[in-house]
Homo-oligomer: A and B are copies of this chain.
Amino acid sequence: MKARVTVTLKSGVLDPQGKAIEGALKALGIDGVAKVRQGKVFDIELDAGDQAAAQRQLSQACEKLLANTIVEDYAVAYE
């Protein structure tokens, strides 16, 4: 089973990397970009037999390692 976990900063949390990308895009002459926020994506292959087991494993993985839930949100999509 394949899943994609997307980890993004919670709204309100400053994103200096996103700001730097905005600046770099303007410097490159690419106009019309109002705001950029960066996040991470994890493409995960699971051995889990059923979706319930996969969900349990992935939420554990997100809470313990992939996302810092104080400042980040995560979303899981199954393929």
Chain A contact residues, CB within 8 Å of chain B:
6, 8, 18, 21, 24-25, 28, 30-48, 53-54, 57, 60-61, 64-66
Contacts and interface: CB of A to CB of B under 8 A. Distances in A.
Given A30-B60, A61-B30, A64-B30, A35 B25 contact: no
Given A57-B30, A65-B25, A45 B35 contact: yes
B41 A41 contact: yes
**Chain multiplicity (copies):** 2
A41 B41 CA distance: 6
A41 B31 CA distance: 20
A64 to B, nearest CB: 5
A18 B35 CA distance: 28
